[in-house]
Amino acid sequence: DAGVIQSPRHEVTEMGQEVTLRCKPISGHNSLFWYRQTMMRGLELLIYFNNNVPIDDSGMPEDRFSAKMPNASFSTLKIQPSEPRDSAVYFCASTGPPPLWGYTFGSGTRLTVV
């Protein structure tokens, strides 16, 4: 298994532009999580899906952020319009139903908004 695949690995964009981050979870995993990591705030859960349905989006910072999971093998996190304070590493993680244990994280997308 190739693990959780995220793209792009790096993204540099100008303030005000739309940014779309992509994630392919591990086949058979039924829960998917989007996290943001910064030095100041550590790991923050943005949203998680269970069986493609958003369960908790209370961590989404504001309406500029949206996430979708149209099927079990693909999810997107969109920021529109982007702002410099959105600069961070965004991780996608997936996990399966028991007895599949633990989250598997992707390698992350480093987003820089200038």
Partner 1 sequence: QQQVKQSPQSLIVQKGGISIINCAYENTAFDYFPWYQQFPGKGPALLIAIRPDVSEKKEGRFTISFNKSAKQFSLHIMDSQPGDSATYFCAASRGSNYQLIWGAGTKLIIKP
Backbone φ, ψ for residue 9 (5° rounding): -80, -35
Q: Among 26, 31, 69, 113, indicate the residue that binds partner 1 (CB under 8 A).
A: 31
Q: Among 4, 21, 60, 111, indicate the residue that binds partner 1 (CB under 8 A).
A: 4
**Rounded distance, CA 48 to CA 94, Å?**
9
Binding mask 48-77 for partner 1 (x = CB under 8 A): x-------x---------------------
Per DSSP, 26 falls in state: P
Alpha carbon dihedral 61, 65, 70, 75, in 10-degree steps, equals -80
In angstroms, give the least distance from the CB of 49 to partner 1: 11
Q: Residue 21: in which H helix or E strand, if any?
A: strand 19-24
Q: Does 8 bind partner 1 (CB under 8 A)?
A: no
Alpha carbon dihedral 67, 103, 73, 48, in 10-degree steps, equals -20
In angstroms, give the least distance from the CB of 12 to partner 1: 16
Using CB under 8 A, list all residues that contact partner 1.
4, 30-31, 33, 42-43, 45, 48, 56, 91, 93, 95-98, 100-108
